[in-house]
A and B are shown apart, each in its own frame.
Chain A
């Protein structure tokens, strides 16, 4: 069996670049050593450790590279055909041995391909987890729009965990910049129900406790109607339809005036 497996014919399968060839060689050597012990059933035994490790390695790398599960599984399953072909040549006179040997090699390779599946899915899950972390990190920026004025665009659903992050970031930034006005923009919040409203009210209260004033902007027409029907009282919170008008309010609260400078007047003067 060992000699049959080391046949060069095995390495034709799908491997083109050098790294893969090296990986396959490594795996085949490990497989041969494992088979030499006569263990065909228990892939969790110590003699299979190297090979399952190598397989996991390959599966994880492939999951990260974006290979399809089919391609990854094929990596192990393609061995089957090659092995069975070799067996066929060598045992063409003894069908019973041929049948027994191909059954056990099939079971073994099936088990090994399950390992690649498990690892492949785990690799993908890691990618998803990392992305979830990244999304929650980038989704709550606090922007300093003016001296003493902060803006916080909220995009997506405002749940309890999210509110906590928003509140922490905002309060920290108020301390860091010494700002006294914060604009919460909810243009990107698809639905404002009573839970979201409660979270907003809590954020506003916390901001006020820090001595800063909070303006909520980005209230769309349909959201305004919904809030009224729901019976949510936002009357003691300053609200604006757009971020622009909220900024204008913030300017007037801090006694800042934004004026257009007529350049033509200046030019005429120099002439």
Chain B
């Protein structure tokens, strides 16, 4: 796997969400992703970045354009120093929320992207990595 472009963004306020989404759009346009796939990735990114703001008071996102053999894609890594998730399988369940929201953020984001990885330790923060390939598969 080769990293072609890399950028880091700090997310600390709700106002950072829109510029971040635009940056994700820029990255996915650069590799020629279709509008549907772009929207999927941007929506997933939006869900994850909102989680980060809501539960961990913000964090850091690494945006990368990666290449794997003939495939090109965008990889986003969301890292925060928040309270962490005590029960991962419960957090991935549709409709489960500790924050009075729809409870679709994490499971929804997983369905929207090609690869989804969630690592969390209570008290150690949470890291979510998602990859969406140019052709959506």
CB distance B40 to A226 under 8 Å?
Answer: yes
B18, B50, B111: the one within 8 Å of A193 (CB): B50
Answer whether residue A225 sits at the interface, using C-beta atoms and an 8 A cutoff: yes
Which chain A residues lie closer than 8 Å to B17 at the CB level? Answer: 157
Known contacts A198-B101, A229-B112: does B43 contact A193 (CB below 8 Å)? yes
Which chain B residues lie closer than 8 Å to A194 at the CB level? Answer: 47, 101-102, 104-105, 108
**Dominant secondary structure of chain A at its interface with chain B:** helix
CB distance B43 to A192 under 8 Å?
Answer: yes
CB distance A193 to B47 under 8 Å?
Answer: yes
Which chain B residues lie closer than 8 Å to A197 at the CB level? Answer: 102
A159, A198, A221, A230: the one within 8 Å of B43 (CB): A230
Answer whether residue A222 sits at the interface, using C-beta atoms and an 8 A cutoff: yes
A157, A198, A221, A226: the one within 8 Å of B18 (CB): A157
A159, A198, A226, A231: the one within 8 Å of B39 (CB): A226
CB distance A222 to B35 under 8 Å?
Answer: yes
Which chain A residues lie closer than 8 Å to B102 at the CB level? Answer: 194, 197-198, 232
Residue among A192, A197, A223, A230 facing the most chain B CB atoms (10 A cut-off): A230
Which chain A residues lie closer than 8 Å to B46 at the CB level? Answer: 191, 193, 195
Answer whether residue B107 sits at the interface, using C-beta atoms and an 8 A cutoff: yes
- Complex alpha-carbon distance, A226 and B42, angstroms: 10
- Complex alpha-carbon distance, A9 and B109, angstroms: 69
Answer whether residue B94 sits at the interface, using C-beta atoms and an 8 A cutoff: yes
Size of interface on B: residues with Cβ below 8 Å to A: 24
Which chain B residues lie closer than 8 Å to A229 at the CB level? Answer: 40, 108, 111-112
CB distance A195 to B101 under 8 Å?
Answer: yes
Answer whether residue B26 sits at the interface, using C-beta atoms and an 8 A cutoff: no
Answer whether residue A188 sits at the interface, using C-beta atoms and an 8 A cutoff: no
Which chain B residues lie closer than 8 Å to A141 at the CB level? Answer: none
CB distance B94 to A231 under 8 Å?
Answer: yes
CB distance A230 to B36 under 8 Å?
Answer: no
List the 7 closest A-B pairs by CB distance, nearest first. Answer: A230-B108, A222-B39, A193-B46, A194-B104, A222-B36, A229-B111, A226-B43
Which positions in B face A, CB cutoff 8 Å? 14, 17-18, 21, 35-36, 38-40, 42-43, 46-47, 50, 94, 101-102, 104-105, 107-109, 111-112
Which positions in A face B, CB cutoff 8 Å? 157, 159, 190-195, 197-198, 221-223, 225-226, 229-232
Name 22 interchain pairs, CB-CB below 8 A, sorted by A: A159-B14, A190-B42, A191-B39, A193-B46, A193-B50, A194-B101, A194-B105, A195-B46, A195-B101, A197-B102, A222-B36, A222-B38, A222-B39, A226-B112, A229-B40, A229-B111, A230-B43, A230-B104, A230-B111, A232-B102, A232-B104, A232-B108
A194-B47, A194-B101, A195-B101 provided; 19 other pairs, C-beta below 8 A?
A159-B14, A190-B21, A191-B21, A191-B42, A192-B43, A193-B46, A194-B108, A195-B47, A195-B50, A198-B101, A222-B36, A222-B38, A226-B39, A226-B43, A229-B108, A230-B104, A230-B109, A230-B111, A231-B111
